[in-house]
Amino acid sequence: MDHFHRLKRQVQHYIFLLGTLAVAFLVGGAWVIRRLFPDNNDVLVSGGLLLFGWLVVWLLSVILTNYALQPLETIWRAILHVTPGHTSTAPPNLEKSKIGQELVTTLALQVYQLASSNTSLQPVKPTSNSSELESDIFHNFPLPIMAVSKNQTISIANEAALKFLGLTKEDVFQKNLYSVFDLAFSDERTLDNWLQHCRQNKATDQHFWQRVRLKLADQTTVKQFDLAAAYSKENPNDIEVIITLFDQTARYQIDDEALDFIALAVHELRTPLTALRGYIELFDDELGDKLDPELLGFMHSMQTSAQQLTAFVSNILNVARIQEGQLSLQLTEETWEAVIKNAVDNMALAAKLKGISIDYTIAPNLPSVAVDKISITEVLNNLLDNAIKYSGSSKLIHINAGLTNDGLVETVVSDDGVGIPSSVMPNLFEKFHRNHRNQARIGGTGLGLYLCASLIKAHGGNIWLKSKEGEGTSVGFTVQPYSMLAGKLKDSNNKGITRNAHGWIKNHSLYRR
């Protein structure tokens, strides 16, 4: 039988007892009056009987109320006692309740337990010192927690943090956060950047990061975790930020392995592709002028197909990287015209096979741009590849590059081809999306525009698409002039390295195709 049912039975027991007493009083009173006034049934006797009965009922109601509401009173006093602003209220006496004492005691203690997070009040006596309790909770908390002071040194780290990071108290205490931990974030929204933002704009703030990586002191173990941080500008203990880590090493390891598998598959595909492209080029060189035009055309088709397959294989790897948040760009200063020319040269043969020519117009005095040359060439290749595929009967693709009003470098690839139905326009930049009407006739994977959008976004630019069915398509995107990012890039560690379309060469100008 639980506490509540026991209370119910006790209340029932008291009501029955008091009711029996009331009946006994009334019957006894009537008997006494009858004996005192045996021959008189007048109004006085009836009135006296009524008054006596009323007095008995009043007395009983007082007793009943007192007993029945005692549990409620105890709980009320307990709640009042823990309510902020009522600390002078006396604590309830848990032994006072005559009925339902177990239930009342349990409920009152529950009230104290719920309120114990922000009060040291206890029903009878406090069990321990509150700061000791907090310290105990901090050190035994099952997640790694660290507190960092305003001068960026680690003030305190709990047992779980030291264990997770494989460090001792001496390794971390009063040491600079960044010298102890080389945290790697998946993008530029790092802990440090967030803190700088908070210092200027916030009194308190919280932030959560996923996929943070940390190489431990042994230089081989890599931990991966999510990180939550709480910032406080005016903390009395000089603590500026509190950091909690959520270990996700095992989970993210699976993603890494999946990417490893893709990287391996890409390697296995690229090796025979290298041979194919090399030998086709050799045949073209040695036999090109001896073959009749039809056979030469076949060879060029082979060459284009091998090149398309190579590009597709790179696309797969890049999409996997984007999904795992592992795509890293190395922005360097590039002449935009050279980048465009290189991309046009890449696609020239594929265009020529369909009788299409690609021309480009570059606005005079266009500033140099900050791009990752490999990635941006992939964007241009994909856009040109689409324009060639969906060219229809049109024979010209045009690239136009100029400055926007915001000072960004905008490039538009336009064709007069088959265009895109308005119904599919909203989903074009999504993965695996293809224009279904053309699916049977035109090959493709639906990765191209998704990849372009992701890469442009990573460059800090925008991409847009304008199309009318039967009239053609224009895809435009922006990249930033180098001058906008020059300061940031100088601080990065890729000084002296110039990336080219399919690799990089140190301190040398880009190779010519």
Phi-psi region of 100 (alpha: psi -120 to 50; beta: other; left: phi over 0): left
The footprint of another protein on residues 29-48 (CB under 8 A) is: none
Give the residue with the Cβ less far from another protein, 207 or 277: 277
Instruction: Decide: is 317 part of the binding site for another protein (CB under 8 A).
Output: yes
Q: Give the C-alpha distances (Å, rounded to integers) separating 165 from 144, 145, 216, 250.
A: 9, 11, 7, 15
Give the residue with the Cβ less far from another protein, 290 or 506: 506
Write each residue from 248 to 267 as x if it is in contact with another protein (CB under 8 A), else as -, in one continuous string: ---------------xx-xx
Phi-psi region of 359 (alpha: psi -120 to 50; beta: other; left: phi over 0): beta
CA distance 47 to 26: 14
SS3 state of residue 308: helix
β-sheet bridge partners, residue 241:
148, 231
Given candidates 314, 411, 414, 467, which one binds another protein under the rule CB under 8 A? 314
Q: Smallest distance, Å, CB 296 to another protein?
A: 17
Instruction: Decide: is 512 part of the binding site for another protein (CB under 8 A).
Output: yes
Q: Smallest distance, Å, CB 253 to another protein?
A: 13
Give the residue with the Cβ less far from another protein, 315 or 467: 315
Q: Smallest distance, Å, CB 369 to another protein?
A: 21
Q: Which residues of 194-225 are buried (b: 16+ CB within 10 A; e: fewer)?
A: bbeebeeeeeebebebebbbbeeeeeeeebbb
Q: How many residues bind another protein (CB under 8 A)?
A: 35
Given candidates 28, 126, 166, 278, which one binds another protein under the rule CB under 8 A? 278
β-sheet bridge partners, residue 479:
409
Instruction: Decide: is 301 part of the binding site for another protein (CB under 8 A).
Output: no
Of 437, 445, 443, which Cα lies nearest the Cα of 418? 437
Instruction: Decide: is 324 part of the binding site for another protein (CB under 8 A).
Output: no
Q: What is the dihedral of CA 494, 499, 502, 506, to 10 degrees?
A: -90
Q: Smallest distance, Å, CB 362 to another protein?
A: 23
Give the residue with the Cβ less far from another protein, 342 or 414: 342
CA distance 304 to 349: 7
Side by side, which strands form the sheet with 222-232? 154-157, 145-149, 239-247, 222-232, 204-215, 183-184
Q: Which residues of 433-464 are buried (b: 16+ CB within 10 A; e: fewer)?
A: bbbeebeeeeebeebbbbbbbbbbebbbbbbe
Contact region for another protein (CB under 8 A) — 62-70, 152-160, 361-369, 492-500? 492-500
Instruction: Decide: is 186 part of the binding site for another protein (CB under 8 A).
Output: no
Phi, psi torsion values for 401, nearest 5 degrees: -125, 135
Q: Smallest distance, Å, CB 284 to another protein?
A: 9
Write each residue from 281 to 300 as x if it is in contact with another protein (CB under 8 A), else as -, in one continuous string: xx--x---------------
Instruction: Decide: is 271 part of the binding site for another protein (CB under 8 A).
Output: yes
Instruction: Decide: is 328 part of the binding site for another protein (CB under 8 A).
Output: yes
Q: Smallest distance, Å, CB 215 to another protein?
A: 8
Instruction: Decide: is 504 part of the binding site for another protein (CB under 8 A).
Output: yes
Given candidates 54, 178, 432, 511, which one binds another protein under the rule CB under 8 A? 511
Instruction: Decide: is 382 part of the binding site for another protein (CB under 8 A).
Output: no
Q: Smallest distance, Å, CB 486 to another protein?
A: 20
Q: Smallest distance, Å, CB 338 to another protein?
A: 13
Instruction: Decide: is 217 part of the binding site for another protein (CB under 8 A).
Output: no
Instruction: Decide: is 489 part of the binding site for another protein (CB under 8 A).
Output: no
The footprint of another protein on residues 329-368 (CB under 8 A) is: none
Instruction: Decide: is 140 part of the binding site for another protein (CB under 8 A).
Output: no
Q: How many CB atoms lie within 10 A of CB 332?
A: 22
Assigned token pair, 187:
């993008």
Of 270, 258, 244, 238, which Cα lies nearest the Cα of 324? 258
Give the residue with the Cβ less far from another protein, 120 or 335: 335
Chain centroid, CA 301 distance in Å: 46
Given candidates 273, 291, 458, 489, which one binds another protein under the rule CB under 8 A? 273
Contact region for another protein (CB under 8 A) — 68-76, 144-152, 310-318, 408-416? 310-318
- Helix or strand (DSSP H, E) at 344: helix 336-353
Give the residue with the Cβ less far from another protein, 377 or 391: 377
Q: Smallest distance, Å, CB 269 to another protein?
A: 8
Of 321, 328, 381, which Cα lies nearest the Cα of 351? 381
Q: Where are the alpha helices (DSSP H) in 126-248?
A: 130-140, 159-165, 169-172, 177-180, 191-201
Asked if 149 and 239 touch (Cβ cutoff 8 Å), the reply is yes
Q: Which sign, positive or negative, has the C-alpha torsion 23, 29, 30, 35?
A: positive
Instruction: Decide: is 501 part of the binding site for another protein (CB under 8 A).
Output: yes
Q: Smallest distance, Å, CB 505 to another protein?
A: 4
- The per-residue DSSP string of 16-48 comes to HHHHHHHHHHHHHHHHHHHHHSTT--SHHHHHH
List interacting residues with another protein (CB under 8 A): 263-264, 266-267, 270-271, 273-275, 277-279, 281-282, 285, 310, 313-314, 317, 328, 494, 497, 500-506, 508-513
